[in-house]
Structure 1
């Protein structure tokens, strides 16, 4: 019974982790004490692990670290490899939260080896998922996707829908950050379907819906993002997990901030702060305080924001939150700078720089340099300011180049990753219903493919015969070549199924003659050199007609059509191949074709006897023909039992009957060939219409998703992602071709005021009206984009600094149009930068145009203040 008491306490503690972590700690203390008294080291280790998870949930990293280390020692004493594995995974999680990414990776590798030794694939998959999280923290997206794909493949073989959904959700998060929105949505929706199955928690569903909301927020569709956040919040309420509920509220607060609804953001952050304080969730408190300070700064309250940030700083220092400490120091430095407290600002920025350098966080490092440049500029130390500014630009370019390279590498690996993902997805289909659906789908695809292949084969067969009827009244030459080739291949020892395929494929050897004019093909006299060159083109024409087929027969027919006029000594056409470089089917058909051509009458020659033809083929052995194939041909047709002529006549007689039967089955005669040629395209279209329709629909869907990813939903203009992509391409082209390029930055001065006084619906109407007006003004000069809330930009090829007045007059024209269309107070600040006179890269163009736009905004603001 005492053992049952310990197990019951541990079960209760585990159930309290999500609801009341401190209650879980109290239960664990009782369980551990009881287990220690009874000498149950395994239970003691298990209790200590639950304690570590509770402290981690509360954000108390130091206490969590101590607990997990104690648990590992107890697991060693108990010689329980399963508990040791759990401890190593939890230790890696705590280290990651502390910013110790290298050390976390080391422990995860140890855990993976332990999982493999113990044949615990689910634990191995979890370690791979954690490794992906570390790669994500370092912005190593390709490695992160690789680890997640491997983890997903493992859990699919285990039929573990919960883990599958979790890893798919993480893949969606990565795809979102990479800007691969269609792939991200696909991953999220697949995870959503798994989460809807019986047995999945509302907490998991809330996390998935919140991730979809994040995707729409990244795409600029704030309304859709808010809708998914509300659904996520409803699920979180059902889960009774206060932490996930607060995390969703935090996302809603960030959305309000992005929409410049700062009072709403402030209210949400305050609600989150109060709730997290009541629950003792220190990490969430810090997050709420950071958001609160950000909203306070946006509302022009730097002093209040400073006090808020000092609270976060104290929490970060006491709890050992490395990443949080760094972010808070940068924000606090900006708050001190806004108040003119330069010494305090410099101290924060300097400490942030040192921490960022130690942690090798380049982005935080260059942000610290930028802040120090602003501080020293304000203090009048211009040389030091310039030094930090140069370092800021150097590091920013370095980070930009690294991210570009990572994205390039991700695209390179994308095909392999998608292939692996597809293979893993196929393994998921385990149930009888899914298997039946797959079999039915495969049967349908096979049937359609067979129909398409048969249609293509039927068409090219008819084309081949249509071509042959032009210089063979019976049309039987193609059939005889197929028969001869099959007999030779059989003599060479080919398998019967391959012989049959060759018999059919060889009949298509001269399908390219359909493209040779009658005046040349039916000419009785010797061909001129020019005419002969035209005739030789029938090999490549035939190969093109037969190309694109997916069956073995059509591939073989394409190969034969291209190579049956190559010569063994290398003097043939079209490519001058020699010896065994000529495919064996082509070498066989070369002999079969010449044998039939020699023994039958043509417009330009008499029919030779079989003996004469075989003698000529033997004479050309090693020159025109492969000696091995010649020997096989002679063995087949130089039959000693009967005369050669009689043997060939018998074969031709048998063939004539089979040809007539096959014609009867196909239902056409000689007089219908011309009509067949005229109906060729119509027949092919009828056979492939359904497949083509499906392909077009798939292309249209992909195109819509691509447009969605690069289009601002509100205005219909290109979004920031489209702007960055187009600008990078345009700069490259401008340097290559040698033309100037300008970038225009624009900002709607009155949007925030309009949102605050008349509501966001009126603000959205202003955005749409100005977008239409500015697009009309610049339609003949370049493309306009909406790159953020009230920010617009235009890429203007072939315009340099000499066109500045013309460009600015176009901006004023767009403003006047906006005013005339219902927004009389509309005003726009703008800034222009030109390449190569003023900038040397796309980053320089953006920075310089932004800087000039803000200068223009400041001038306008001062003018308004002076007028009032």
Structure 2
């Protein structure tokens, strides 16, 4: 058990530890080897890390030690730096489970943060947010404010990836302030400041971005480790791109060269790619159009061949490069490829997490069955009490949360899809649809815009009018959403597929994607379309103010027989005022199910912590 680290060539030579003491000795040696692989990755590093990870994940939690948690996290970090976050998930999840068994709150905070990062990197913003929320709560119980810093920083990255840049900056500012007061977490400050610069770049706030990135570089003056070098590469690249925004191509070139230098000092796929892509953008902005576009295309080809996970960033850079070069038609070609890539990746991510969610539910059910056979009759009774509806709710929970995430660019409260679902189901009851059908419409309508997950941010966040080509791409969210839902293998999802596919069809046949007319449009899609448009009109969006209800109803009336089913419209126009009289606060009534959403709960807790308000009053409510 006490053999040196370099003797551990294959996990088949390991003997499972029988106590935490033995585990500590073994994992201490393994940890030294893992850290060496992180600093100087060799040809066999990937195979070795996979074998060690499989061995550790298979061990009994009862014999675990703190060193095992650190080993699992080192494996997760190895995969993360190699841009393979899906491979890192099992190790991160096991690290959290082991830390819980040990009752080590400091390790649990660290493991939850790692797990949040991996969930975020695999496109699972809802569960990432839940992990970060629990990590913050754990850090607060520890009474160590500095320990909150990495959690706030990583939460900010998750929000940044969801294009919630203003909220992300608030998280980064909190991280920087907390890290500044803690020696142990001082490096987090540089990362948080660099991240502020990245968000500022998206917001076109050059002054804020440059101020933050300068301080980030000052705090990371001479990086040695792979992590610190990557951080410096990212900072220098942000600095260069901010300078391009104000035409400082000369100074931008200087910082790009520094990024390339640090990428060479501790080469990782992410560092080298970031520096190379920035070089191509600088060439284009400097007037070296052919050189820059060639470099960007070469980077894209390298990504396609060797770093598949980086193709998205390469495509985005090519789109920018060709737009700057005055070739919008070519930029649109790359935008279509980005859409196809988003569609492939997002569908795979959503389905992966959905299937894991279903598997966890099934394991929990099987586990309950094996606890005590004498309780079988009680379990059967409980299943009857819960009913089929509760089972359906549980099975679509992850999809529901992903749908909320897809709408965050328009609705930071996360309540839009719940209001639409309930209003659509109530309208269904008004026209005599069966109760079970209305129940399914309530759940299914919540997923109507899940396909927006595949639409590039460049289109979702565009402040002006979309070009015809961009509009065509935007409209693909209907077919993409239906395809995602069709692959979930949940029998009740046929209603959700219909709604996702057809909620933008119009009664007069001028809608999309299939230009269906009249009653050829499924009834579930027709009721959802009314509820969706009404809710969008009566709430603030980035591009519009909230309309009074009477104005929204007048607009819907004007579209009777053109966009909306005329008979349904008449029922709807009578229903909404009656609901107002009966329930008072229509929003609270329609969004009641949002209170049960783990994702929205976590967002509210985080917002309360960020603002220092009571948890019942969220940041998002205060902004309205």
Structure-to-structure mapping, 1:384-463, within 5 angstroms:
393=336, 397-398=340-341, 400-417=343-360
Is the counterpart of residue 153 in structure 1 residue 97 in structure 2? yes
Question: Which stretch has the larger CA shift, 318-327 or 243-252?
Answer: 318-327
Is the counterpart of residue 313 in structure 1 residue 268 in structure 2? no
| Equivalent residue number for residue 550 of structure 1 | 382
Is the counterpart of residue 724 in structure 1 residue 452 in structure 2? yes
- The DSSP-based 3-state class of the residue aligned with 1:316 is helix
- Alignment partner of 1:272 out of 197, 212, 216: 216
Taking the aligned partners of 1:350 and 1:258, their CA distance within structure 2 comes to 23
Provide closer, same or farther for how the CA distance between residues 735 and 83 of structure 1 changes in structure 2, counting only shifts above 3 A: closer
Provide closer, same or farther for how the CA distance between residues 341 and 181 of structure 1 changes in structure 2, counting only shifts above 3 A: closer
Taking the aligned partners of 2:326 and 2:177, their CA distance within structure 1 comes to 51
The answer to whether the 8 A contact 1:220-1:713 is kept is no
- Superposed CA deviations along residues 649-673 of structure 1, whole A, max 9, x for unmatched, are xxxxxxxxxxxxxxxxxxxxxxxxx
Taking the aligned partners of 1:703 and 1:108, their CA distance within structure 2 comes to 33
- Superposed CA deviations along residues 71-101 of structure 1, whole A, max 9, x for unmatched, are 99xxxxxxx9666412321133235xx6x79
Taking the aligned partners of 1:369 and 1:710, their CA distance within structure 2 comes to 21
Taking the aligned partners of 1:769 and 1:116, their CA distance within structure 2 comes to 51
The answer to whether the 8 A contact 1:171-1:184 is kept is yes
The answer to whether the 8 A contact 1:85-1:111 is kept is no
Residue 411 of structure 1: how far off its partner (Å): 0.7
- The DSSP-based 3-state class of the residue aligned with 2:33 is helix
| Equivalent residue number for residue 336 of structure 1 | 283
Structure-to-structure mapping, 1:600-611, within 5 angstroms:
none
| Equivalent residue number for residue 46 of structure 2 | 104
Residue 391 of structure 1: how far off its partner (Å): 7.9
| Equivalent residue number for residue 187 of structure 2 | 243
Provide closer, same or farther for how the CA distance between residues 361 and 190 of structure 1 changes in structure 2, counting only shifts above 3 A: same
| Equivalent residue number for residue 770 of structure 1 | 544
- The higher radius of gyration belongs to 1
| Equivalent residue number for residue 208 of structure 1 | 151
| Equivalent residue number for residue 426 of structure 2 | none
- Alignment partner of 1:194 out of 132, 135, 138: 138
| Equivalent residue number for residue 91 of structure 1 | 36
Residue 190 of structure 1: how far off its partner (Å): 2.1
The answer to whether the 8 A contact 2:139-2:148 is kept is yes
The answer to whether the 8 A contact 2:293-2:322 is kept is yes
Taking the aligned partners of 1:101 and 1:777, their CA distance within structure 2 comes to 66
Is the counterpart of residue 294 in structure 1 residue 241 in structure 2? yes
The answer to whether the 8 A contact 2:122-2:349 is kept is no
Is the counterpart of residue 170 in structure 1 residue 2 in structure 2? no
- The DSSP-based 3-state class of the residue aligned with 1:410 is helix
Provide closer, same or farther for how the CA distance between residues 717 and 549 of structure 1 changes in structure 2, counting only shifts above 3 A: closer
Residue 740 of structure 1: how far off its partner (Å): 5.0
Residue 103 of structure 1: how far off its partner (Å): 3.0
Provide closer, same or farther for how the CA distance between residues 343 and 141 of structure 1 changes in structure 2, counting only shifts above 3 A: closer
Provide closer, same or farther for how the CA distance between residues 216 and 338 of structure 1 changes in structure 2, counting only shifts above 3 A: closer
Provide closer, same or farther for how the CA distance between residues 728 and 146 of structure 1 changes in structure 2, counting only shifts above 3 A: farther
- Superposed CA deviations along residues 297-334 of structure 1, whole A, max 9, x for unmatched, are 22233343223212212332343243222222122112
Structure-to-structure mapping, 1:538-617, within 5 angstroms:
549-550=381-382
The answer to whether the 8 A contact 1:155-1:164 is kept is yes
Residue 358 of structure 1: how far off its partner (Å): 4.7
| Equivalent residue number for residue 595 of structure 2 | none
Residue 340 of structure 1: how far off its partner (Å): 2.0
Residue 336 of structure 1: how far off its partner (Å): 0.8
Provide closer, same or farther for how the CA distance between residues 186 and 213 of structure 1 changes in structure 2, counting only shifts above 3 A: same
- Superposed CA deviations along residues 39-69 of structure 1, whole A, max 9, x for unmatched, are xxx99x8xxxxxxxxxxxxxxxxxxxxxx98
The answer to whether the 8 A contact 2:27-2:71 is kept is no
Taking the aligned partners of 1:332 and 1:82, their CA distance within structure 2 comes to 42
Residue 371 of structure 1: how far off its partner (Å): 3.0
Residue 109 of structure 1: how far off its partner (Å): 1.7
Taking the aligned partners of 1:705 and 1:161, their CA distance within structure 2 comes to 29
Provide closer, same or farther for how the CA distance between residues 420 and 152 of structure 1 changes in structure 2, counting only shifts above 3 A: farther
Structure-to-structure mapping, 1:681-696, within 5 angstroms:
none
Is the counterpart of residue 324 in structure 1 residue 271 in structure 2? yes
Residue 206 of structure 1: how far off its partner (Å): 1.1
Residue 414 of structure 1: how far off its partner (Å): 1.2
Taking the aligned partners of 2:177 and 2:313, their CA distance within structure 1 comes to 40
Q: Normalising by structure 2, what TM-score?
A: 0.53
Provide closer, same or farther for how the CA distance between residues 164 and 266 of structure 1 changes in structure 2, counting only shifts above 3 A: same
The answer to whether the 8 A contact 1:85-1:114 is kept is no
The answer to whether the 8 A contact 2:73-2:95 is kept is yes
Residue 345 of structure 1: how far off its partner (Å): 1.6
Structure-to-structure mapping, 1:36-55, within 5 angstroms:
none
Taking the aligned partners of 1:365 and 1:217, their CA distance within structure 2 comes to 16
Taking the aligned partners of 2:196 and 2:316, their CA distance within structure 1 comes to 31
The answer to whether the 8 A contact 2:53-2:75 is kept is no
- Superposed CA deviations along residues 618-660 of structure 1, whole A, max 9, x for unmatched, are xxxxxxxxxxxxxxxxxxxxxxxxxxxxxxxxxxxxxxxxxxx
The answer to whether the 8 A contact 2:124-2:349 is kept is no
- Superposed CA deviations along residues 246-278 of structure 1, whole A, max 9, x for unmatched, are 122223333333332111101111122223226
The answer to whether the 8 A contact 1:715-1:767 is kept is no
Residue 107 of structure 1: how far off its partner (Å): 3.2
The answer to whether the 8 A contact 2:312-2:341 is kept is no
- The DSSP-based 3-state class of the residue aligned with 1:163 is helix
Residue 185 of structure 1: how far off its partner (Å): 3.5
Structure-to-structure mapping, 1:218-229, within 5 angstroms:
224-229=167-172
Provide closer, same or farther for how the CA distance between residues 144 and 423 of structure 1 changes in structure 2, counting only shifts above 3 A: farther
The answer to whether the 8 A contact 1:710-1:721 is kept is yes
Unmatched segments (≥5 aa) in structure 1: 1-41, 46-67, 73-79, 425-494, 502-546, 556-691, 744-765, 783-796, 800-868
Residue 338 of structure 1: how far off its partner (Å): 1.9
Is the counterpart of residue 230 in structure 1 residue 173 in structure 2? yes
Taking the aligned partners of 2:563 and 2:213, their CA distance within structure 1 comes to 48
The answer to whether the 8 A contact 1:233-1:248 is kept is yes
Taking the aligned partners of 1:375 and 1:717, their CA distance within structure 2 comes to 38
Provide closer, same or farther for how the CA distance between residues 363 and 421 of structure 1 changes in structure 2, counting only shifts above 3 A: farther
- RMSD between superposed Cα atoms in Å: 5.7
Provide closer, same or farther for how the CA distance between residues 303 and 171 of structure 1 changes in structure 2, counting only shifts above 3 A: same
Provide closer, same or farther for how the CA distance between residues 173 and 297 of structure 1 changes in structure 2, counting only shifts above 3 A: same
Taking the aligned partners of 2:334 and 2:383, their CA distance within structure 1 comes to 61
Provide closer, same or farther for how the CA distance between residues 86 and 136 of structure 1 changes in structure 2, counting only shifts above 3 A: closer
Taking the aligned partners of 1:220 and 1:375, their CA distance within structure 2 comes to 23
Structure-to-structure mapping, 1:501-540, within 5 angstroms:
none
Aligned residue pairs: how many? 425
Provide closer, same or farther for how the CA distance between residues 112 and 735 of structure 1 changes in structure 2, counting only shifts above 3 A: closer
